[in-house]
Structure 1
């Protein structure tokens, strides 16, 4: 008898087991292939798309929404914690206003340190602009004149206008205020000057220190008549000249056609006129006076007031 060896292979009755086994092998191979294709991009996570967004100073988003729960895209990110970015300061209207004020203050400090003028100072300080700083001031100035015009003074002849009523004038000063001459009131000494006249410049340069240091302006009313003003002639504008000389006498500005000087019969420069308290002409004089003559004239005018 022969002894049968055990069968090491599957029998026909176990075919369904073989089929299941092969199917499992196929699925296993498929899984391995899919894993190999996905592996290079395993560490990349897409960030959701954000379109048409605006970022403000505080990093808030305007015009769209963002899914904060979704993780942020990181490619090859370091293992350690990322440094925290500092947010820029939030600017408010109050802060902006303060910044502007500080900037202007620094400009003022620079002006004080360097001596260079800054237009902002004038605006911030008082907001006042002098009348003569307006464009066209000397071209547009006007005056009101009432009364009979005086004849011109002719040197070497008696003045025929003595005792006449002085023309009453209302005009504007360099400070923009109205100034009146003529008519009843305090005795008045009028000094007629032209900015381009060399004798006038010498007279102002000599008389200014005397008038600033003496009490003459307290004793006698004095008015400067700026006439024959011409921007094409030397030493224009006249207010700059008088400021440089520290001229202390109030100045009235004549019209472009010198109507006030014409009304008073002015024939040359400098020219001096005295009107008493009754509004009458008591003196007209052409030429320079100088400190000594002006001092005697002030004394004489003061004596006139005491006699009345």
Structure 2
């Protein structure tokens, strides 16, 4: 009678055993992460990033299509801070341009490098202040946090005011979309615009209000 072939002694572990090993490895990794705090870094919370600005004065109406009823009216004065907590104020300068930016906004992402290049090239006239208001804060909409997008990677080195979690500064200035530009002279609204502007246009506006 023919002998049955002997089962090889070099056979690897069974699929069931491999699954068991894999499960144990996952559990062990989870325990290590929990023990040593190696969970993924999701960045700062909304509360840690959001500002706490104070707003004085009448809020501006939301920018409509067509003629802007806010032109010639007094803009609210906002006292807040930048990402480092240093004080920043908008609405009280002799000549001022304010741009509201949201880190997740595609048009803002396209405009930022053009704005940075324009400023670095000396486009902003003497006597004209330009402040970027970081608004639309949302940790669920990347890139987050906005400081990384605007300053660390974006290269913006001008004045910054951080809006609160409710977008109160944006609402006070009648924001209708981002980017949102507000031009002031002696606290009076000269112009507002929603959407991306070319730097030639921004430069012309800046020159028109320069003291």
**Number of aligned positions between the proteins:** 168
Distance 2:46 2:98 in 1: 27
Kindly indicate which of the two structures has a greater share of residues assigned to strand. Answer: 2
Maintained 8 Å contact 1:146/1:169: yes
Per-residue deviation, 1:269: 0.5
For 1:261, the equivalent position in structure 2 comes to 170
Asked if 1:154 is matched to 2:64, the reply is yes
After superposition, what is the alpha-carbon deviation per residue over 1:20-67, rounded to whole angstroms, capped at 9, x for unaligned?
A: xxxxxxxxxxxxxxxxxxxxxxxxxxxxxxxxxxxxxxxxxxxxxxxx
Residue in 1 that maps onto 2:25 = none
Q: Note if 1:283 corresponds to 2:194.
A: no
Instruction: String of CA shifts for 1:238-295, please: whole Å, max 9, x gaps.
Output: 1101221211221100000000000110010001001112x11111111111221112
- In the alignment, structure 2 segments of 5+ residues that lack a partner are 1-42
Q: Tell me the equivalent position of 2:3.
A: none
Q: How far did 1:226 drift?
A: 0.6
Give the secondary-structure state (helix, strand or coil) at the position aligned to 1:266. Answer: coil
Match runs of 1:36-51 below 5 Å = none
Larger radius of gyration, structure 1 or 2? 1
What's the offset of the Cα at 1:137? Answer: 2.0
Give unmatched runs, 5+ long, in structure 1. Answer: 1-131
86, 97, 110: which one aligns with 1:177: 86
Q: Distance in 1 between matches of 2:193 and 2:49?
A: 26
Compute the TM-score of the two structures, normalised by the length of structure 1.
0.52
Q: Counterpart in 2 of 1:216?
A: 124
TM-score by length of 2: 0.74
Does 2:201 match 1:293?
yes
SS at 2:201 equivalent: helix
| Structure 1 counterpart of 2:183 | 274
Q: Is the 1:173–1:252 Cα contact (8 Å) retained in structure 2?
A: yes
Structure scoring higher RCO (CA < 8 A, sep ≥ 6) equals 2
Cα separation, partners in 2 of 1:175 and 1:217, compared to 1, 3 Å = farther
Counterpart residue number, 1:245: 154
2:72 matched to 1:166?
no
Kindly state the Cα deviation for residue 219 of structure 1 after the two structures are TM-superposed.
4.2
The aligned residue for residue 144 of structure 1 is 54
Partner of 1:187: 95
Cα pair 2:49 2:83 within 8 Å, conserved: no
